[in-house]
Structure formats: C-alpha cells, structure tokens
Amino acid sequence: MSRVIVLASSKGGAGKTTVVANVGVAMAQLKQEVVVLDADIMMANLGLLLGLEEQRVTLHDVLAGGVKLSDAISIGQEGMRVVSSGVSLEGIQKAKLERLKKVVNELSKKFEFLLIDGPSGLDRDAITAISIAQEVILVVTPDIASLSNAFKTKLIAERLNVKPVGVVTTRVTWKDFEIPPEKINATMELPVLASIPEDPAVRRSVALGEPVVTHSPKSKAAREFKKLARTLVKLSGTD
C-alpha cells in the first residue's frame, strides 16, 4: 500500500523543499518507488532544486486540463520521479487547485511513496495540500515561533484526519539558544525524525540544482537526510 506524505511548514525558509528533494532521492537510492510532487502552485521551487527548471509539461498544465499526468512526470536523480510545478504567471492562473486530489490519487496507485511539497503557511493552498495526504511531517526550525505555528498546523491536520507522524528540524546549529530535540518532542507530542544541520554543502548543492545526497553524499546534512529516508522506509515495513 502506498504512503502519501505531505511535508508542511508554517513559514517559508525552513527548507521544506530541500527536505522533500533530498529524502526523495535517498529513498530512490534505497530502491523504493518514489515520486515527489510540487504542490506549491504559487511559489514552485522543487524543480529548480532538482535541475528540472526546463521541464516543458508541469503540474500547472495538468491542473489546467487537457494534459495527461504521465506527460508531467520526469525522471530525477537516482531514478526518482518528479512532478514539478511551473513558474509562469499564465500557468498559475490556469491551474485548478480542485483537480489536485485526482492527481494524488493517480500517483498513489503507481508508487510506493508520494512525497508532497506543500505551500508554507496555512492559507487555502496549504490546507488543500495537507487535506489530500494520508500523513504529514512538520518541518520546523528550532525556535519558539516556528514550533508555535507548527503546532497549529498539526491541529488542522488532525481535524482533516491526516496523521502527523513526526517533526523534522532544519538549520540546526546546536547553539544553546535553540530548542533541543527532547523539548520539541514534548511540545509537539511527536517524535523528532531528523535534525538537519546548517551545512554549507546544502547551499552549494541548491545553487547547482542537485540534491546534497548526491552532490556531497558524505556531508553532515546528506547523512541526516539518508537517515530520515531509512526511518520512513522502515516505518512502512518495505525495507
């Protein structure tokens, strides 16, 4: 049975898209059938991080109608499948968000894992992305504002019958002013699945349009992304 997991963040800049890209590739390295979907219709960035910005057919075209979903699926690093969104204003205007659920249903029949990169915040687009998933992973930075907003996201997910499975902290430096994992666990009442460090290798990989797990596989961040991928696969019992 496939797992449909949306990664949600209460604010921009937490690195949610970077998590989706790298965990997806790391899962593909584990021989999992995985597809990543950029559901951030307004501010799509997933294709840029994967070097697929020249993709001719995108999710926008599918949501506008008249284009097959199969034509919008491209092949990323390690054989991971990618459905990226476009960046044109015209594409955004034509996309019909209500068709997103059908896209997710179709992808879930073809792949073991569907990772959804949802919009940041809690507006209509973000809530729609959460509502079409089975599970949600909350991506936060280790500070009180991020945790407070993430807790609201968790409550909304639960009301939508979407199961929160854990928290991923990003941009971690382990300075004494940061909230430690055990306190995040207690506050969110969820396990901390991974703590992604602030790592220059991530910035370099983003600039090059390649995930850090393939560009700098021995970096601290890459090791943590791979650990997260193994955790998710193990939770599914598919390893």
Rounded to the nearest integer, the mean pLDDT of the chain is 93
Q: Domain of 106: which CATH number?
A: 3.40.50.300
For residue 185, the SS3 value is helix
Task: Over range 193-221, report the average pLDDT.
Answer: 96
**84-93, 102-111, 212-221: which has the minimum mean pLDDT?**
84-93
User: Tokens for 56?
Assistant: 């001719």
Domain count, the chain: 1
pLDDT band at 1 (very low <50, low <70, confident <90, very high): low
pLDDT at 237: 66
Residues 114 and 88 sit within 8 Å (Cβ to Cβ): no
* Domain with 183 in it: 3-236
Residue 134, Cβ density class (10 Å: 0-12 exposed, 13-18 middle, ≥19 buried) = middle
pTM above threshold 0.85? yes
Intra-chain end-to-end CA distance of the chain, in Å: 14
CA distances from 164 to 95, 106, 131, 147 (A): 28, 23, 12, 14
- Flag whether pLDDT at 238 surpasses 60: no
User: Tokens for 202?
Assistant: 């991530």
- Flag whether pLDDT at 155 surpasses 90: yes
Residues whose CB is less than 8 angstroms from the CB of residue 134 and which lie 6 or more positions away in sequence, other chains included:
3, 4, 5, 162, 163
pLDDT per position as a tens digit, 18-51: 999 999 999 999 999 999 999 998 888 999 999 9
Strands in 163-172's sheet, in edge-to-edge order, are 73-75, 81-83, 34-38, 113-117, 3-8, 135-140, 163-172, 192-197
- Flag whether pLDDT at 239 surpasses 60: no
Give whichever of 44-53, 156-165, 228-237 has the largest mean pLDDT: 156-165
